[in-house]
Structure 1
Amino acid sequence: MLANGAKLEYKKKSDASDAYKELQGLKEIPDCGIEPEKVENTGLKDKNKQYENGIGDLGDMTYKFKYENKSATSTYRVLRQAQENGDVLSFKETLSDGTTTEYDAEVSVKRTGGGVNGVVEVETKMTICSDLKVTDPS
């Protein structure tokens, strides 16, 4: 499946309405999933090391957007303001097949550099503050 058609929406956790707002100019979505820590748990009578899965590490997820800063609702301004305020936002990523992943995160935003014929982008790193809620398409 192609990433084409994917979208990322956000809302403030304090927002009483359930209306997500789409972040415009999404160019790239990150890997998404839980990687449990491998924990060694070998007994004294075991002939080989024994392992089990520990707690998961979601890591950081980085999204890339087109750089645009012409209005107060531009992705760059919205996310930069959330970073400056230390806001935890709720996010909903929707793939073209209808699969959604919802989570809460703090954001870290940077504008990338550029050169001749180089595109300036906005990179947003998500520090996940909740579990992932994945909903399969119906």
Structure 2
Amino acid sequence: MKKTKILPMNLQLFAGLLTKDTKLSMKQGTGESATFKEIEGLQAVPEIGGDPEQVDVTTLKDANKKYISGIQDMDSLEFTFLYDKTVFSGLKAVQTSGKEAQFELEYPDGAVCSFTGGVTVKMGSGEVNGAYQFTLSVTVSDGPDWA
């Protein structure tokens, strides 16, 4: 009987990706000196991407409706942060300026998603024995692009 060597399996390779160390950064400054700076206090990240709209291509001869994929529909991306007055005020200033901002979302495995969009900041509700949070909504105008 032929002996087969059994190699040990690293189960962590199949366990997925932990959210720890996920970072959202926003470009600070203008021109060549502009750099991405991490926005502190990130607690929740939305789904990135969107479903394409369905375009009805059914004819009068068809017994069933037929569709083709249309343009991808990107919802606003809503990120949740632990409230910090300095961070909140800085993002509120971007909203007040009416200018779009550039963002990079970096995952723990090094994957990076970049996008540009308008900023809206909303203070969260409060409750007994709870921490205040705020929501950063980005209405995407360009992206998401993956690297």
Q: TM-score, normalized by length of structure 2?
A: 0.83
Q: 5+ unaligned residues in a row in structure 1: which ranges? A: none
Q: 5+ unaligned residues in a row in structure 2: which ranges? A: 1-16
Paired residues in the alignment total 131
* Structure 1 position 3, deviation (Å): 1.7
The counterpart of 1:89, out of the listed 74, 96, 101, is 101
* Structure 1 position 12, deviation (Å): 4.7
Cα RMSD of the aligned pairs, angstroms, is 1.5
The counterpart of 2:118, out of the listed 106, 117, 125, is 106
The answer to whether the 8 A contact 2:26-2:103 is kept is yes
Deviation string, structure 1 residues 64-116 (Cα, Å, up to 9, x no partner): 111111xxxx3212110001111200000001111110000111101112121
Which whole-Å CA distance do the structure 2 matches of 1:110 and 1:13 have between them? 23
* Structure 1 position 43, deviation (Å): 2.2
Report the secondary structure of 1:101's partner residue: strand
Whether 2:99 is the aligned partner of 1:122: answer no
Q: Which structure features the higher share of helix residues?
A: 2
The counterpart of 2:57, out of the listed 17, 35, 41, is 41
> Which amino acid in 1 is paired with 2:89?
R
| Higher Cα radius of gyration | 2
Report the secondary structure of 2:92's partner residue: helix
